[in-house]
Amino acid sequence: MLLSSLNPHAVAQGADIPDAVTIADTTFSRSDLIGAATSVAERVARADRVAILAAPTPTTVLAVIGCLIAGVTAVPVPPDSGTAELAHILRDSGAQAWLGVAPGECGVELPVIPVRLHARSWHSYPEPAPEAAAFVLYTSGTTGPPKGVVLRRSAIMAGLDALAEAWAWTANDVLVHGLPLFHVHGLILGLLGPLRVGSPLVHTGKPTPQAYARAGGSMYFGVPTVWSRIAEDPESARALSSARLLVSGSAPLPVPVFERIAELTGHAPVERYGMSETMITVSTRADGERRPGWVGVPVAGVATRLRDEHGGDVAHDGESIGGLQVRGPMLFDGYLGRAEATADVWTEDGWFKTGDVAAIDADGFHRIVGRESTDLIKSGGYRIGAGEVETALLGHPQVAEVAVIGAPDPDLGQRVVAFVVLRPAADVAPEQLIEHVATQLSVHKRPREVIVVDELPRNAMGKVQKKRLGRAAQ
């Protein structure tokens, strides 16, 4: 199945697929999808880079595939982005237009190239060079605004083919998920995966247990929050027993959720580990062991190693922990326009430093223990930088000081909690500060809780002691 193309024409050489993509009550056959997306390609082909407001809609699907056909770099933008985040992504990416729908005012004006759902074209485009950038995906760091992760076409192809091999994913599968279309999980694995493999996709809209149960697929993708909600709804969970593979990723799957899903569905979930920068590098296999709390073995083409804080080797004994470093053909090219930040995440001998702490056992099984920095929060599978939320809150006129942490949460894994010192005589409710972040950044980055304090705990150097705040938030 080694197609040298990301262009869905390549898979289309076989029979048509009547239900290639179903999303928001629209079903496209494979030929329909290609005709409509090629018509988008014709309209967008003269651009280098365009922004796509990536709501889960047919428009987004056609916009993304149109870019892939034309060889235009796509910048997917969270549809709930606030004004500060929108303006940052547009300026930083250098997007020349919106393809499809434009959001409200954010201070950066771009022309809009329409996506017409009923237009068709049968023009044929050659496959762009494998090193051409397919996407710039924006993702949070520990400090500063999100950085643009540049993913080339060959990385995506290698990443998807490695997963198809690990999961025995074929055209006989029907993939179901309801994940957002602006990150690796929902967009690259969840939309481009089915197109490359030739398996139909059903996007459920919101990933509710009932919607997953109704969809009747053979493969399901979800973040742990989705699986834990399914585990609490036995009737929906039992409907998934007719599936072949239930896949969890983007955050740690709690062992009790793993066990409950296995009990209710008869399927031990497949866990896989990845990042925006690396796609998926480690996974349990369709034909291999599935061990709760462990994410499996490197996928095809990937090598991993553990390093201690001095760069020394760490034993693969299943107990010793170290910084996880990875190598493989699915890794990104760098952060857009940030040579220094890019250099920081690579070792001198060419390994990518994931920032995750892990253990590896003698059989090559990986366990993710946590992150090196407490300033990267994972909430509902979304990566959120404490620094960007702090900057947004400090932008509020009544806020004097702030510290943001990720507190343990039974539903979201971690929830964003902000400790805030207000200016003298300030009169603002926590809900207004939450709303401020939701409108500046994205709704999913908003603190779920704002705690007003008189002062923040600091050490002798004046640095905020976030560990002490963490204990206060539990």
In the complex, what is the shortest distance from the CB of residue 419 to ligand MLC, in angstroms, rounded to a whole number? 19
In the complex, what is the shortest distance from the CB of residue 418 to ligand MLC, in angstroms, rounded to a whole number? 13
- In total, the chain counts a number of residues equal to 474
Contact residues for 123 (Cβ-Cβ < 8 A; gap 6+): 38, 41, 42
Backbone phi, then psi, for 439, in 5-degree steps?
A: -90, -20
In the complex, what is the shortest distance from the CB of residue 182 to ligand AMP, in angstroms, rounded to a whole number? 11
Cα–Cα distances in Å, from 41 out to 13, 20, 49, 62? 19, 19, 12, 9
Contact between 76 and ligand MLC per CB under 6 A: no
In the complex, what is the shortest distance from the CB of residue 411 to ligand MLC, in angstroms, rounded to a whole number? 7
| Region class of 171: left (phi > 0), else alpha (psi between -120 and 50), else beta | alpha
193 binds, among ligand AMP, ligand MLC, none (CB under 5 to 8 A by kind): none
Looking at the Cβ atoms of 351 and 382, the one nearer to ligand MLC is 382
Element at 275 (helix H, strand E): strand 270-275
In the complex, what is the shortest distance from the CB of residue 430 to ligand AMP, in angstroms, rounded to a whole number? 27
Kindly tell me which residue out of 444, 451, 453, 468 binds ligand MLC, with binding defined by CB under 6 A. 444
Looking at the Cβ atoms of 40 and 376, the one nearer to ligand MLC is 376
223 binds, among ligand MLC, ligand AMP, none (CB under 5 to 8 A by kind): ligand MLC
Q: Which residue has the tokens 């204990």?
A: 471
Q: Interaction with ligand MLC in 265-284: which residues (CB under 6 A)?
A: 274-276
- What burial letters (b/e) apply to 15-33, b meaning 16+ CB within 10 Å? eebeebbbbeeeebebebb
Backbone phi, then psi, for 392, in 5-degree steps?
A: -65, -45
Looking at the Cβ atoms of 41 and 155, the one nearer to ligand MLC is 155
Kindly tell me which residue out of 438, 451, 452, 473 binds ligand MLC, with binding defined by CB under 6 A. 438
Identify which range of 163-171, 177-185, 337-345, 352-360 contacts ligand MLC by CB under 6 A.
Answer: 177-185
Contact between 382 and ligand MLC per CB under 6 A: yes
Backbone phi, then psi, for 280, in 5-degree steps?
A: -95, 125
* Bridge partner residues of 71 (DSSP): none
Give just the sign of the alpha carbon dihedral 383, 386, 390, 391: negative
Looking at the Cβ atoms of 29 and 208, the one nearer to ligand MLC is 208
368 binds, among ligand MLC, ligand AMP, none (CB under 5 to 8 A by kind): ligand AMP
Give the sheet arrangement for strand 73-77, strand by strand: 112-113, 98-99, 49-53, 73-77, 133-139, 147-152, 334-335
Angstrom distance (rounded) from CA 380 to CA 433: 21
Site residues (vs ligand AMP, CB under 6 A): 139, 183-184, 249-252, 271-276, 295, 354-356, 368, 371, 378, 383
> 355: which 2 tokens?
């920032």
DSSP 240: G
Kindly tell me which residue out of 43, 152, 183, 366 binds ligand MLC, with binding defined by CB under 6 A. 183
Q: For residue 440, which of 89, 176, 31 has the smallest C-alpha distance?
A: 89
Identify which range of 33-41, 106-114, 294-302, 442-450 contacts ligand MLC by CB under 6 A.
Answer: 442-450
226 binds, among ligand MLC, ligand AMP, none (CB under 5 to 8 A by kind): ligand MLC
Contact between 446 and ligand MLC per CB under 6 A: yes
In the complex, what is the shortest distance from the CB of residue 401 to ligand AMP, in angstroms, rounded to a whole number? 28
Q: Interaction with ligand MLC in 132-161: which residues (CB under 6 A)?
A: none
In the complex, what is the shortest distance from the CB of residue 366 to ligand AMP, in angstroms, rounded to a whole number? 9
Angstrom distance (rounded) from CA 361 to CA 364: 5
Contact between 103 and ligand MLC per CB under 6 A: no
Contact between 77 and ligand MLC per CB under 6 A: no
Looking at the Cβ atoms of 23 and 384, the one nearer to ligand AMP is 384
Contact between 179 and ligand MLC per CB under 6 A: yes
Contact residues for 389 (Cβ-Cβ < 8 A; gap 6+): 404, 416, 418, 437, 441, 445, 447
The closest residue (CB) to ligand AMP is: 383
Kindly tell me which residue out of 56, 249, 298, 322 binds ligand MLC, with binding defined by CB under 6 A. 249
Give just the sign of the alpha carbon dihedral 40, 41, 47, 50: positive
Kindly tell me which residue out of 380, 385, 406, 413 binds ligand MLC, with binding defined by CB under 6 A. 380
Binding site for ligand MLC (CB under 6 A): 179-180, 183-186, 207, 223, 225-226, 249-250, 274-276, 380-382, 434-435, 438, 443-444, 446
